[in-house]
Amino acid sequence: MEPPPPSPALEWKFSQVFGERTAGEEVQEVDIISAIEFDKSGDHLATGDRGGRVVLFERTDVKDHGSRREQEKSDYPIRHPEFRYKTEFQSHEPEFDYLKSLEIEEKINKIRWCQTANGALFLLSTNDKTIKYWKVQEKKVKRVSEVNVDPSQGNGSMGSPSTSNSRGHLPNGGCLERPSGYLSNDFSFPPGGFPSLRLPVVASQETSLAARCRRIYAHAHDYHINSISNNSDGETFISADDLRINLWNLEISNQSFNIVDVKPANMEDLTEVITSAEFHPTHCNTLAYSSSKGSIRLIDLRQSALCDNHSKLFEEHEAPGSRSFFTEIIASISDIKFGKDGRHILSRDYMTLKLWDINMDSGPVATFQVHEYLRPRLCDLYENDSIFDKFECCLSGDGQRVATGSYSNLFRVFGCAAGSTEATTLEASKNPMRRQVQTPSRPARSLTSLTRVVRRGGAESPGLDANGNSYDFSTKLLHLAWHPTENSIACAAANSLYMYYA
């Protein structure tokens, strides 16, 4: 039986932008987006920035027209996902480690959504050292109304006789004189009593969103946290730094278990570090982590308490004679993601995307060239530190496509089904049919301020790729996320959030 033919290439279109810059507008370093994540339903999106702030967006096209299942049954056409600003909160503040004389940035490194409960949203966010567990919930603001006292005659109410007016207005339009000597703080009825006594009614006037930090997981990492990942059991998560991976219980913040430790007895013997780690989407005992040498290790928590020995190792051996000064640098994996089916792992190194089958450790099943045209300029990239940029990657919910970012705010989408030749390049900024969504104004800073990020090491350095197209190392699209159920991509260009759909 022949495999089904690959699906046709998708036609990507611009959908929305939040916080788009105007020409020449200054960007605040703290506003640059550093993390982005959809929740499992795809109805909520979270971004974190270098200023320690988390901004939440919610989907509106489904909420306005019923559930997706109802849309499929009805004649109403299903539109592409549309989001709107929901709320924001300050997750992390800058700190100072007095023992190590070290400043700890407030920058959000990763955000991960947890299971929702009772209409509340839960998520984890982390900077270099501290992980926080947040609960975001709607709270109703209540007001007392419908009392006997006419508010135009005073500011009192029957609920507080000491401040009530001396003339109590009755429901039938008449009024009742208080007898002389009637004390305002006396709860006794006046002579004759009230013909009708209307009790105060508590009415819900409006709702407001409140974010509350439920737990803080701190003091467990000597090095910078590069990854956090939720377990499918809904109870535990991992956090990874350069040399260790710790396992936490969501309910216990003062204790974690070290499950991976690659620190050598002598630090001079250190040859590789952990760069990314993620739990398997359905097997709560399995996780994978990548290294700076370009390898991915699969570990099984059932084998031993300290998982120093991997159950599977995935790496691609270099061709003989191809080794150079830059070989190890560009081989370092900056991000790994499990496919939704748990069968495949996607990895991103500096030059390529690789798709791995966890049942085949002889090599990747597919390799996608992202930066091959930059190979002649590796020396320049090393001089201006761009070679150390950490690009993220993502997979579509159906596992048919993969995506990652590049320079000049470009992102690339590849078809990974057997026989597919799909390879699309889009720029997250240029679209004549754009429809800008303004984010509500903020007291401190705004997502609407954006300009180019000047790279470390000096001024911008535009150049030409192999096709004669210009590219710019100063603008880079590092963070992006694929909607879990639909062909929609959210990507961050500096402090603007762009949404595309197909």
Mapped onto helix, strand or coil, the DSSP state of residue 363 is coil
Looking at residue 193, its pLDDT comes to: 65
Cβ atoms 393, 402 nearer than 8 A: yes
Looking at residue 434, its pLDDT comes to: 54
What tokens appear for 188 in the block?
């006794």
* Among the four given CATH numbers 3.40.50.620, 2.60.40.10, 3.40.50.1860, 2.130.10.10, the one describing domain 13-135+213-501: 2.130.10.10
Per-residue pLDDT for 232 more than 90?
yes
What one-character DSSP code corresponds to residue 152? G
Residue 396's alpha-carbon distances to 115, 235, 482, in angstroms, are 21, 26, 6
Give Cβ neighbours of residue 183 (< 8 Å, ≥ 6 apart).
none
pLDDT band for position 252 (cuts 50, 70, 90): very high
Give the domain ranges of the chain.
13-135+213-501
Q: What is the dihedral of CA 447, 450, 454, 459, to 10 degrees?
A: -170
Give Cβ neighbours of residue 11 (< 8 Å, ≥ 6 apart).
502
Top-confidence range, 81-95, 158-172, 203-217, 438-452: 81-95
Distance separating alpha carbons of residues 194 and 191, to the nearest angstrom: 9
pLDDT in tens, 451-464: 222 222 333 334 55
What average pLDDT is seen over the chain? 81
pLDDT in tens, 297-323: 999 999 888 888 888 999 988 777 677
Report the range of poorest mean pLDDT among 145-159, 311-325, 488-502: 145-159
Per-residue pLDDT for 288 more than 80?
yes
Cβ atoms 404, 392 nearer than 8 A: yes
What is the average pLDDT across 26-42?
92
- For 385, how many CA atoms within 13 A lie in the half-sphere containing its CB? 8
List of E strands, 63-116: 83-90, 95-97, 102-104, 110-113
Residue 42 or 175, more confident = 42
Identify the H or E element spanning 21.
none
What is the average pLDDT across 332-348?
95
Angle 21-23-27 from CA coordinates, rounded to 5°: 50
Identify the H or E element spanning 379.
helix 378-383
Looking at residue 3, its pLDDT comes to: 54
Q: Choose among 260, 235, 261: nearest CA to 248.
A: 235
Cβ atoms 455, 381 nearer than 8 A: no
What one-character DSSP code corresponds to residue 321? T
